[in-house]
Amino acid sequence: MDIRSSLAAQQYAATRPATAPKVQPDEQGADFAKLAGDFAATIQQGEQTALAAMTGDADPHALVQALAQTELAVETAVTVRDKVVEAYQEILRMPV
């Protein structure tokens, strides 16, 4: 099976708009949408820095810093997700 990295990159780029958060300022979740947008921007900046480092356009220090910021953002998102799941499970345990 022939898998080309350019084909994989094209497919990845094609799915990015589908996963981008949609900001709707009139709703109560506008703050959460802003946080999701900031998270997506941090991840995108880390990807751009990693690509620049692979082509030799970025210094290693910038790459390490971008990866650390990305790791912190992902860890924060996972922690928030875990708390939401925990709260949901607690609600399910409540007697009706």
Query: Mean of the per-residue pLDDT values for the chain?
Result: 82
- CB 24, CB 30: distance < 8 Å: yes
Sign of CA dihedral 63, 18, 31, 72: negative
pLDDT tens digit sequence for 13-53 = 777 666 666 656 666 677 878 888 899 999 999 999 988 88
Q: What whole-number percentage of the chain has pLDDT above 90?
A: 33
Ramachandran angles phi, psi of 46, nearest 5°: -65, -40
In the numeric block, the tokens 């799915």 are attached to 15
- Does pLDDT of 1 surpass 90? no
Q: Given this model, what pLDDT does residue 18 score?
A: 64
